[in-house]
Amino acid sequence: MRRPVARKLSVLAVSAVVVSVGAAAPPSAAGTVPGKVPVAVGYGGAVASVDADASAAGIEVLRKGGNAVDAAVATAAALGVTEPYSSGIGGGGYFVYYDAKSRTVHTIDGRETAPLTAGPDLFTENGKPLAFADAVSSGLSVGTPGTPATWQTALDAWGSRKLGTVLRPAERIARDGFTVDDTFRAQTAANETRFRSFPDTAKLFLPNGQLPVVGSTFKNPDLARTYAELARKGVGAVYRGDLGKDIVSTVDNPPVDPGSGWKARPGKLSAKDLAAYRAGLQAPTKTSYRGLKVYSIAPSSSGGTTVGEALNILENTDLSKAGEVQYLHHFIEASRIAFADRGRWVGDPAFEDVPTRQLLAQKYADSRACLIQDDAVLTSPVAPGDPRHPAACGTGGTAAATTYEGENTTHLTVADKWGDVVSYTLTIEQTGGSAMTVPGRGFLLNNELTDFSFTPANPAVHDPNLPGPGKRPRSSISPTIVLDRHDRPVVALGSPGGATIITTVLQTLTGFLDRRLSLADAIAAPRASQRNAARTELEPALYDSQTRAKLEAIGHSFSLNPEIGAATGVQRLGNGEWLAAAEKVRRGGGSAMVVDPAP
């Protein structure tokens, strides 16, 4: 979202394929401030993120011989500086990696966990659920951070550089600063009241008591020192050291301004929770679609199962020949059904019996697809099916509500010259997370535990997403990598956006694979999001179009959402050439870069 203080960017015209491409040079002491470039084509590797500083950090690592995993961690660390309200070492995420040598896909579950003392009543008082706002800005909402463990796990398994090496660009950006833009100021303003309740947060993000000025340089020396400490001591500083002690103290004794009037409820995090945390290496989800292999993250995230099920539902519909109205109709209905099953069946598999394999079975998708009619709309909430016992057009039980998830996560996508690919989504939940900055450490803590159901949606039906000791809350994060029949990358992508992540990834994939849009155009296309609700959300370009009226004639109902998601992706073009793509407008536009631009 922010533009770098000092970067050089070469912009070249590319005929037919894209409007322009760009590649970042390594950071220099002086240079012009570039605009963001949403598409880049070239060789040596590619990075796409929402921020030019962060993309440049990844490119710097690739230029120096690092691989996609090294560059992904470098990019993520830089986003922790320039996207502090969406990501950082106080949060978590999901990491999907393609190994070109073995042509295999691997994943890391770096989701935050509830304290070991947490029970299903974590967010209730006097038998009633807390108000959401009361839960967010409190210690109760903070889960054990998973991001540092994710970085180290990825580097240990597949990286070629040490953590300290890949943290250097982010440490430099934190120390020297980045240029404040409209988006950063607007996000700060939206959180100003919350931030003023916590003196350490106000001191960092409201310098001299004021909103940051657009065009000014924002520095975070505390975070620079924290990254330097991680470089020296490793992530053990978080999970077994002084940095972890500071996190626990902040969660259990929220540093709230007594004069603010805010009741910041204490959390229950302990040193034992940090020491017990592990980022889990696990198998990806896998779905076949149009002869391609679609890989994503398995539970605790619902992203892989829900996108996968929706793709399977759409498998027998020729979306390439459908008109826009029929395409969107089937996309919306497939999303509606997949979310019905998500709510009933998906939770943390360490605690819940999640039928992942059955949810992704084509037989089950076919049993659900027959609910869709060309000239009628399903009534939400649609009841879930039973993936263990598929019945044609069968539904049963009570639909579960879709829990709220904060929308200001961030996503990055990376490829290297060897053909390795990373699709990585990381988050601290909603914009500004819990609003609590760890004193002297320069980063915000997450509010991920509010992704749990506070109470069961229906007391008569088991809710797989209630809190539990050490449990991971359900997520919608959907980092995705698509391979061809020879197990070579076709495209990799992902998005922020809370529960709209799933529909954003699904719509971008079908736009690219079925509608034959370029990756940049598939990312930029106006979006719809249906999550088993009475109304489907539409961005303005669709809401104000004739398409909306034609869909309403079938029976759809809509509400306006100004902005849905903020995707990035990379596409393999062959012979070592990559295309990186990011948003053109959403969240201030994204930044796509390659090591060596194509002529």
Q: Helix, strand or coil for residue 541?
A: helix
| Catalytic-labelled residue, pool 305, 409, 450, 568 | 409
User: Which residues, in sequence order, are bridge partners of residue 537?
Assistant: 529, 559
DSSP state of 315: T
Q: Of 517, 538, 535, give the one whose Cα is nearest residue 527.
A: 538
Q: Tell the residue number behind the tokens 């939770």, with chain if given.
A: 347
Q: Of 254, 259, 231, give the one whose Cα is nearest residue 243.
A: 231
Q: At what angle do helices 221-233 and 163-176 cross, to 10 degrees?
A: 170
Give the model's pLDDT for residue 403: 67
324 burial level (CB within 10 Å; 0-12, 13-18, 19+): middle
End-to-end alpha carbon distance in the chain:
28
3-state SS, one letter per residue, for 143-167 = CECCHHHHHHHHHHHHCCCCHHHHH
Q: Which amino acid is at 146?
A: G
Give the model's pLDDT for residue 18: 34
Report in angstroms the alpha-carbon separations of 369 from 180, 336, 372, 393, 507. Answer: 47, 11, 6, 7, 17
CATH number for the region 281-405+458-468+471-479+493-563 comes to 1.10.246.130
Q: What are the pLDDT digits (tens) for 547-590? A: 999 999 999 999 999 999 999 999 999 899 999 999 999 999 99
Q: What are the pLDDT digits (tens) for 468-514? A: 999 999 999 999 999 999 999 999 999 999 999 999 999 999 999 99
**Does 363 have pLDDT greater than 50?**
yes
Alpha-carbon gap, residue 339 to 416, rounded angstroms = 34
Reading the block at residue 211, the tokens are 């909103």
pTM of the entire predicted model: 0.94
Q: Where are the domains of the chain?
A: 281-405+458-468+471-479+493-563
- The secondary structure of 100-116 as a DSSP string is TTTTEEEEEEE--B--T
Q: What are the pLDDT digits (tens) for 218-256? A: 999 999 999 999 999 999 999 999 999 999 999 999 999
Phi, psi of 24 (to 5 degrees): -90, 135
Q: Tell the residue number behind the tokens 């049963």, with chain if given.
A: 396
What number is the average pLDDT over the span 508-534?
Answer: 98
Whether 82 sits among the annotated catalytic residues: the reply is: no
Alpha-carbon gap, residue 439 to 200, rounded angstroms = 6
Alpha-carbon gap, residue 240 to 253, rounded angstroms = 19
Do 580 and 519 touch, CB atoms closer than 8 A?
no
Q: What are the pLDDT digits (tens) for 263-301? A: 999 999 999 999 999 999 999 999 999 999 999 999 999
Alpha-carbon gap, residue 553 to 247, rounded angstroms = 54
